[in-house]
Chain A
Amino acid sequence: MTVNILSVLGQMAFLLLMAPLVNGVIKKAKALTQCRRGPGILQSYFDIVKFLRRDPVVSVQTSWITLLTPLVCLGAYLAAGSIIPLWDHRGIVFGDLIAFTYLFALARFFLGLAGLEPGSAFGGMGASREMMIATLVEPVMVLGLFGLVLTAGSTDLGALAGAGWNPAGALSFIGLMIVTVAETGRIPVDNPDTHLELTMVHEAMLLEYAGRQLGFLHWAAMLKQLVLLALLVHLFWPQPTGIPVAAALGLIAAKVTALGLGLALTESVLAKMRLFRLPELMAGGAAFCLLAVLSNSIM
């Protein structure tokens, strides 16, 4: 039991510490592809530390919801991350694929409320856009993930390890990559680096946040990205079994970074889409996932 708890804590710590690194790598790679020097790989760590030092400043309109939201977001993503068995599967079950999906919904729900709370137009805009995008993303995500369940036969993530390692899996992989792009708020869906109100989605909701809470929210965003990448790795790029924990961690880190580089590349070759063109993009993703589902269910 204690071992289980320790391993859970370990995995959380790993994710928490890993997330800024991956983000930094992606930023760096993006900068390089755009022929910029760009910030250092560890820059995200410095940002977070800086934010965490500062006391928060909140709007007078706000209530406990604004104060709670950053914690909920970080907690939800951590929990989601701790569901993925990064190394040999553990005793305590925190959930499965469905719980994983809905933990994201939990975070999004509170983020949306927090966006509305200060009563500034930006926050509301961000919240409404975020929610709209979610209505497009979640079905595709479920479609892609449950297409894999058809092969694995269970929604348990342990059983799902490497379920996508087959031709049909390739299709769902593409679909889920598109989902990941949308969820992590990257180009062509959203631009994480902008503060231009026409294009903001995620940042708009954070606009009223400052200091420690902003730090938490940034951290949560990075964590979300890492967790999604880790899930993809877990599903499509199975680990060799029977290797020591350290090696497994190293492998995971490597694979996740590789995927992140992929993300960076796509981001820098694509251009930002208009908000109302998104349904077409998501339809594309849905099409891939649907193909995967069909091929799985016919076979």
Chain B
Amino acid sequence: MAGLQEKLLFIALILYLSGAVLPLMFRRSTSMSLLLGCCPGVAAGALGLALGLWGMLYPDPLVINLGYILPGVELGILIDRLAGFFLATISMIAALASLYSIGYMKMYVKENLAWWSFCYNLFVLSMSLVVIVNNTVVFLIFWELMTLASYFLVTFEYRHQQVRKAGFGYIVMTHLGTVFIISAFFILSGGGDWGFADLAARSESLSATTKSLVFACALIGFGTKAGVVPLHLWLPSAHPAAPSNVSAVMSGVMLKTAIYGMIRVIIDLLGPGPAWWGGLVLAVGIVSAIVGVLYALMEHDLKRLLAFHSVENIGIILMGLGAGMIFYSWSMPVPAAIAVAAGLFHVLNHAIFKSLLFLGAGSVYYATRTRDIEELGGLIHKMPQTAVLFLVGAVSISAIPPFNGFASEYQIYQSLLALSLAKVSGFWSAAGVLACAALALTGALAAACFVKAFGVSFLARPRSQKAAGASEAPPVMRIGMAPLAVLCLALGLIPQVVMNSLLGVAAQIVPGPDLPPLPGAFNLSLALLLAVIIAALAGLANLPGGRARRTETWGCGIVTDASMEYTAASFSQPVRRVYRFILQPKREVSTDYSLLPYFNYRMHFEERIKSVIRDFLYKPLREFTIALSKKWRCIQCGNINLYLGYIFVTLIILLVWVR
């Protein structure tokens, strides 16, 4: 039985590798290299999906041992339920993104497409391998490969200044984050044993403080990659910089590898810890969710906006995981498993709708060559199908029933409430409800944000020639997006099916009594009810006959045009003003009286928000480091006598110090 899986796995790997290498050989013809780069990815993704589902549903894990590849490093493939889940998610998204790329990358025929597909396939390959290896060193190798490949993907359009900046920030922050990950692993292993099994075995014998140290390192390290506040700074600049199909994969699943790492290290390897671990994760989640969505609401760059929403959703996922960790520390395995499963469910859902949205944004960019939503508008007439797909994504990410975003957030709500109802202490009871309120705030802000995003970019009149000249994206791109949209609805209608299989995954991480399957939730009936009512009303609406008459929008007597429409900036202004204590908006209004002394001829209005974290945390740090280094350089001042003096003094000091 396992032999088949091995074969499948190796076929998938070979497909990815061929997708990486073949285009380099056929780099002469771009279309050829594009096809060679994308199609194997689709096939391999399908295989990976099958493997992952198998590993997720089949009770005993698939173990493949490949022997010692490096001194003391034994490479083993371990597809247990957790790994299977993540492998399935990654492969599914990657496959669809590859399909989409066939159409999308045609935009870049001038660029080096072979290089793109090399990096892209390597990226997906390392992502898939990161979640299924069972040795920390190999994990780190593929983790870093993933970072490196995505770095080169982010800097694909390196001719733009901000893309270079974004890429640099990305690689620096993730690399520094990796330091913490490595520390976490090695503090845990404390020696030459690098296998996850050894780590798990050793974690029992560790002292509480050491465990907390490992926890902190893991949280910082993986948190950097996942983009939790305040370590999220690279995310909103790096994701938009990449081509949209890549951003879809990065935002959809690459962040999830960090979530995988957290679960693996913190919950699986470390086991139950003190309750404050979970509390901290929960708090981090809340902060990330609210800050992320607030900044998203201020963005007018469609992809930056989506990137900030990734920060938000990672926060929501962490809320679920945090609740699970708290239950775990209270040794309540059943609610713990449910909470973790809720988090995983949101992982899946976010992967689906976020990549759907990014691909939609990519189609918009493909059609209009702009990402600034102030220049868009009226696209629902130009590209109707893309509009529908994007709307589905928008509704799902705003957690609106009956779509999947609502389904997973519902489960997280339940877990947080369970936190309060456990009645362990007044503090936690209050905390649970407050966390729910925070989640509600996040949901409302997200809804506001996507009303803005969809309404401004797809509805009303085109605000620029670019938008006016748009046309529907090529079919292959729409085909790539459609399954995601379908999944958004399907997972929203029958969440209990997914939840039950995810409960199996969670039960593997949080061992306990085997759980009763969740009862069928109400979503389906609710959806049916809605559908019936709306259909009935639709019938009723047309009862007395007569169609809707079309006329110009009423503009108080004058003919309205695009310049009178509500812009994204003006849409978000009330929120900007209400939440100014976080956003710190600065507005400058300058009036130009050049024409007439009393009547202003032209007004210039500008309101920009300040990134508090960058200005007060990162900038000082960077400047301090540079200044210190400049100071330090003076020891190499070019004077040979001084140099000889160094040697001399060193010798004398050592001689004195010997005893």
Contact = CB atoms under 8 A, between A and B. Distances in A.
Given A79-B526, A120-B555, A121-B565, A105 B444 contact: yes
B537 A71 contact: yes
Q: A-side binding surface: helix, strand, loop or mixed?
A: helix
- Of A61, A65, A70, A92, which is in contact with the most chain B CB atoms at under 10 Å from its CB? A61
A65 B413 contact: no
B566 A213 contact: no
B444 A139 contact: yes
Contacts of B550: 57-60
Contact of B448 (A52, A119, A132): A132
B421 interface: yes
B525 interface: yes
Given A102-B399, A102-B401, A128-B570, A57 B549 contact: yes
B413 to A, nearest CB: 5
Contact of A98 (B413, B434, B541): B413
A297 B430 contact: yes
Given A132-B448, A138-B441, A56 B570 contact: no
A103 B533 CA distance: 14
A36 interface: no
Given A75-B533, A76-B530, A275 B553 contact: no
Interface string A270-294: 0000011011000000000000011
Contacts of B152: none
A36 B432 CA distance: 49
Contacts of A275: 574
Contacts of A170: none
Contacts of B456: 116
A144 to B, nearest CB: 9
B460 A116 contact: yes
A121 B417 contact: no
Contact of A128 (B399, B414, B555, B571): B571
B39 interface: no
Contact of B381 (A63, A116, A141, A150): A63
Contacts of B533: 12, 71, 74-75, 78-79
A208 B554 contact: yes
Interface residues of A, number: 85
Contact of B525 (A63, A92, A141, A149): A92
Interface residues of B, number: 77
Contacts of B426: 294, 297-298
B443 A61 contact: no
B544 interface: yes
Contact of B574 (A61, A75, A129, A208): A129
A139 B437 contact: yes
Contacts of A105: 398-400, 443-444, 447
Nearest to B388: A64
B451 A131 contact: yes
A101 B460 contact: no
B399 to A, nearest CB: 7
B534 A131 contact: no
A142 B541 contact: no
Contacts of A123: 566
A78 B537 CA distance: 11
A143 B459 contact: no
A294 B426 CA distance: 8
A213 B541 contact: yes
Contacts of B440: 101, 138-139, 141-143
Contacts of B436: 142-143, 146
- Of B380, B381, B414, which is in contact with the most chain A CB atoms at under 10 Å from its CB? B380
A74 B364 CA distance: 32
A93 interface: yes
Contact of B553 (A120, A142, A276): A120
Interface stretch (A107-115, A182-190, A226-234, A235-243): A107-115
Contacts of B413: 98, 155
B73 interface: no
B586 interface: no
Given A75-B537, A101-B440, A150-B433, A134 B448 contact: yes
20 contacts: A59-B550, A67-B548, A70-B537, A74-B537, A75-B530, A79-B533, A98-B413, A99-B522, A113-B459, A120-B560, A128-B573, A128-B575, A135-B444, A136-B578, A139-B438, A142-B437, A150-B433, A153-B421, A297-B426, A297-B433
Given A58-B548, A58-B549, A128-B570, 14 more contacts: A61-B553, A68-B534, A94-B526, A127-B455, A135-B445, A136-B578, A138-B441, A138-B444, A139-B444, A140-B437, A149-B417, A279-B578, A293-B430, A294-B426
Q: Which 5 A-B pairs have the closest CB atoms?
A: A124-B566, A297-B429, A119-B460, A116-B455, A131-B448
